[in-house]
Chains A and B, each alone.
Chain A
Amino acid sequence: MIDIIARRADTAAAGSASFPAELEDEAIYILRETAAQFERPAILFSGGKDSIVITHLAVRAFAPAKAPFSLLHVDTGHNFPETLVYRDSMVRDLGLNLIVRYVQDSIDRGRVREETGKYASRNALQTVTLLDAIEELKFDACIGGARRDEEKARAKERVFSVRNEFGQWDAQRQRPELFDMYNGRIAPGENVRVFPISNWTELDVWNYIREQKIALPSIYFAHDRDVFDRDGLVWADSPHINKVPGELPYRARVRFRTVGDMTCTAAVLSEADTLDTVIDEIRTAEISERGARIDDKRSEAAMEKRKRDGYF
């Protein structure tokens, strides 16, 4: 049991209800640097709230001109259907260019092998599909919505993060980033991952979504769904997850805090069906955002290992 000591009364409410405008200024500066320093930049679009916010920022950064980025979506085939509906309507509304590459194609071509067993997931497989797509489409910069508050390895990654031709991140050989001078010079074959919202927290993202009235996929809000329990977490029942005997689906009111694919994203029991109630819930939450991501739990240093392999 953790002993929670007394704290000052004025820090009782964790987090703030307002969005620090400086974070948007910084993100837009980074997006403009990315457009200026690279030949073929793209936004890695997952359908999650962070990549939705990135896309929204990109549109604002270049207004009234069009954002000079394509969107690349690596489709695991295990997406929440709501995410795909949202993706297609967003791309149509904003007039952006969407490119989709499929993990299933990588499997069919023998580039990767499907995992088996109770925890089978395509989360690790999508790295290969992503790296193949970057090479095929000759992207020199890929913009992602990763945030440093999500996980300890991400806390140490640069805003412009150079990847070698194998897509690998090397924590020991990162370029120093001083003031706001970003160095995106790369050799042929290398590319850069760009993280414009590195300094945002989960709460910042939600406050920004509320301030900007950004629409989100419906799964971020409380809804009734067939779920089952595993490892103390609640999972959406789907044909993509291999349930074992005893894992019985039942109906519950849930929402998702983070949206990966259905095999690695757990739900939280929730009645929060509006932005205001979701934000209230996050401010008082007792579990961190990635606590509901089984992909991080495979080992204590799971994220750092995956980044070295070329994952986001």
Chain B
Amino acid sequence: MDILRIATAGSVDDGKSTLIGRLLYETRSVPRDKLEAIDAASKRRGVDFLDLSLLTDGLIAEREQGITIDVAHVYFSTPGRKYIIADTPGHFEYTRNMVTGASKASVSIILIDARNGIVEQTARHYAIASMLRIPKVIVCVNKMDLAGYDQSRFDAIVAQFLGQFDTVKPAAQQLHFLPASSLHGENITMRSQHMPWYSGPTLLDMLETAEAHHQRVFAARMQVQTVIRPRTEALHDYRGYAGRIASGAFSTGDAVHVLPNERASRITVIERFGQPVACAEAGDSVTLQLADDIDISRGALLTAAGQQPPARKELRARLCWLDHAPMENGKTYVLQHGVNRVRAKIAPIESVIDVATQQLTDAPAQLKLNEIGMAVLRLAQPVFADAYVDNPANGAFILIDEWSNTTAGVGFVEAS
């Protein structure tokens, strides 16, 4: 059984919470006591139907404002698959949360209100999904019931979308359009009776067939989290390199290259939690033993021989700023690439990008909260990162503020 991670995004009133509630409800993922609680809450609020949006609207501040303020995680499953939805808020000031929620996703669902069509939010969400290289994007044109289930309305939105975002779309991205009504449960898990003109799959069908393990096709990479040394009589010489394979696969006997040591070796044993296995792939947590005695510590990168990424002492990256304190030209941050931390200086910020319009402003002094820009970073020690487009699992990093310790930004390494 595998796991598919989904990111949802939409403006405040696009019906995102209702869509998620609908998926939970129709896959029987809601226990009766929770249904009864939202039934009672629906009646208290004077609505005459089961308000499924109440299933996901959580925190106190949210109930006061009636909006979703942070990334919430929602779970449901079908007989063959477990689903994790990172539900992120849609309104302008929370781009930060959307990048956070979408960072692990294999599928992004973008909601459009059929009556309003494409709005600035749509452009923002789609640009972020594309920047993150999420392999599959589903554009759900919702509230079709309020647009008379009109095919020409749907077709016009699709045509406008394709025209407007032609330059944003990565070549490898699968892009789907779906006419739906989450309020009435149409084309969510069951086909709509009102839109015979749509013959494509339902939302759930699209999710059931989506690829969940796209990192497996990239070059093999594993960072060492910790070195396991039992220091007992029986296991005196045991040295195991524990980590989670980020991309590709390793087999016993494989030739590997160790960075930053620049040493070649060979895998003698792959263990999963004490048990030897012949091979392991992206996503697996393993402990590797090597044929040669190399001084390997936390942060070292094991790669397939001959496929190692370059040592980058300076790199160009697309950055999304996540902190209230702006990123300043010339300031030093802690850069964390996987588990490896080095100090990095911003030198300089090249441009800031208006995500909605893709317009560039050159040489800004700062990158502010929720802004996306390009910058050059100089590093105290090299990192062994791939360009994000070549291998996303080894091509992203976070920037940590040295004084507040908060995660202040996220970066995507550009091809050099």
By a beta-carbon cutoff of 8 Å, the part of chain A in contact with chain B is 2-3, 5-8, 10-16, 18-26, 28-29, 32-33, 35-36, 60-66, 148-149, 152-153, 155-156, 171-172, 174-181, 183, 185-187, 198-199, 201, 203-204, 285-288, 291, 301, 304-305
Contact = CB atoms under 8 A, between A and B. Distances in A.
A33 B242 CA distance: 10
B155 interface: no
B108 to A, nearest CB: 15
Contacts of B226: 32, 35-36, 62
Nearest to B79: A16
Interface residues of B, number: 80
- The listed residue with most A CB atoms (<10 A of its CB), out of B82, B230, B238, B400, is B82
B275 to A, nearest CB: 9
Nearest to A18: B1
B26 A8 contact: yes
Contacts of A61: 242, 273, 285
A178 B410 contact: yes
B251 interface: no
Contact of A64 (B56, B230, B400, B407): B230
Contact of A199 (B32, B84, B225, B284): B84
B363 interface: no
B339 interface: yes
A36 B339 contact: yes
Interface stretch (B34-42, B138-146, B256-264): B34-42
B382 interface: no
A65 B103 contact: no
Contact of A33 (B56, B238, B339): B339
Contact of A178 (B3, B35, B69, B398): B398
Nearest to B403: A187
Given A149-B75, A171-B61, 17 more contacts: A11-B78, A22-B283, A23-B3, A24-B273, A25-B283, A36-B225, A65-B230, A172-B69, A175-B407, A176-B97, A178-B103, A178-B398, A181-B338, A185-B334, A286-B31, A287-B31, A301-B63
Given A5-B185, A8-B189, A10-B79, A183 B336 contact: yes
Nearest to A291: B33
B73 interface: yes
Given A22-B283, A181-B398, A176 B410 contact: yes
Given A11-B78, A25-B284, A28-B285, A20 B273 contact: no
Interface string B331-364: 0001011110000000000000000000000000
Contacts of A149: 75
Given A16-B82, A22-B283, A178 B31 contact: no
A279 to B, nearest CB: 14
Given A25-B284, A172-B69, A201-B75, A288 B34 contact: yes
A180 B398 CA distance: 10
A174 B70 contact: yes
A260 B99 CA distance: 36
Contacts of B77: 14-16, 201, 203
Shortest beta-carbon contacts, A-B, top 5:
A63-B274, A286-B32, A152-B58, A60-B273, A14-B28
Contact of A19 (B1, B59, B284, B287): B1
Given A29-B285, A64-B230, A291-B33, A178 B99 contact: yes
B172 interface: no
B168 interface: no
B29 interface: yes
9 contacts: A25-B284, A28-B285, A63-B274, A153-B59, A155-B56, A156-B71, A176-B99, A181-B336, A285-B31
Interface string B148-173: 00000000000000000000000000
A291 B70 CA distance: 25
Nearest to B5: A199
Given A155-B58, A178-B100, A198 B225 contact: no
Contacts of A2: 32, 35-36, 39, 50
Given A10-B78, A20-B1, A199 B73 contact: yes
Given A25-B285, A155-B74, A181-B398, A304 B59 contact: yes
Contacts of B406: 175, 183
Contact of B400 (A185, A187, A204, A285): A185
A236 to B, nearest CB: 20
Given A10-B78, A155-B72, A171-B70, A291 B31 contact: yes
